[in-house]
């Protein structure tokens, strides 16, 4: 009987050893899985940051693309440049005038239509007279000569602006 008890003890001890080995293996596997989870969480954090960076870059590139489209449309539009001389001719109080002489060029990629010179005369800091001098059509790369008198009266002329304008 003792031999049966010893045999049962040996069998039980073998099963206990087997279960302890399985438990050790399971704990090792749990530790390995915990490390894998930690690595995956870290990778996820890096991927989330990379995603945020890509979204920010995408937003910046979209804005840059829009800006470039605007710039391209401006390049294709007419662009007026002037080479003008302006003189205040007030020798005779009965003939006060601003004399404008020179050229208005279309340096853009397309023709300029309905061009004008927008002229504002100032008395002190205040606009005293606004007028438009029609120029008309200017082909791309061409210019129009300007010889114009803008007459004024009743105020002292202190400053002026001459701005070319057109409709594309």
* Spatial separation of the C-alpha atoms in residues 137 and 135, rounded to whole Å: 7
Question: Does 4 score more than 80 pLDDT?
Answer: no
Ranking 11-15, 35-39, 141-145 by mean pLDDT, the lowest is 11-15
pLDDT tier at 143, thresholds 50, 70, 90: very high
- Whether residue 112 contacts residue 137, with contact meaning beta carbons closer than 8 Å, is answered with yes
Stated as kind and residue range, the H or E segment containing 125 is: none
CA–CA distance, 133 with 22 (Å, rounded to integer): 99
CA angle 159, 135, 100 (to 5 degrees): 35
Q: What is the pLDDT of residue 44?
A: 92
Strands of the 112-123 sheet, one edge to the other:
126-138, 112-123, 159-167
Q: What are phi and psi of 91, to 5 degrees?
A: -70, -35
pLDDT of residue 96: 87
Please give the model's pTM, rounded to 2 decimal places: 0.56
2 — pLDDT class (breaks 50, 70, 90): low
DSSP string, 29-58: HHHHHHHHHHHHHHHHHHHHHHHHHHHHHH
């Amino acid at each position: 009987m003792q031999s049966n008890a010893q045999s049962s003890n040996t069998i039980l001890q073998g099963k206990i050893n087997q279960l302890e080995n399985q438990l050790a293996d399971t704990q090792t596997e749990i530790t390995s899985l915990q490390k894998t989870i930690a690595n995956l969480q870290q990778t996820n954090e890096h991927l989330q940051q990379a995603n945020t960076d890509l979204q920010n870059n995408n937003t910046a590139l979209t804005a840059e693309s829009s800006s470039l489209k605007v710039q391209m449309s401006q390049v294709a539009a007419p662009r007026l440049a002037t080479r003008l001389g302006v003189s205040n001719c007030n020798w005779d109080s009965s003939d006060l005038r601003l004399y404008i002489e020179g050229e208005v060029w279309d340096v853009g990629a397309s023709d300029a239509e309905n061009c004008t010179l927008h002229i504002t005369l100032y008395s002190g800091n205040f606009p005293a007279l606004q007028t438009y001098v029609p120029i008309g059509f200017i082909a791309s790369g061409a210019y129009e000569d300007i010889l114009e008198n803008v007459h004024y009266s009743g105020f002292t002329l202190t400053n002026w602006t001459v701005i070319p304008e057109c409709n594309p």
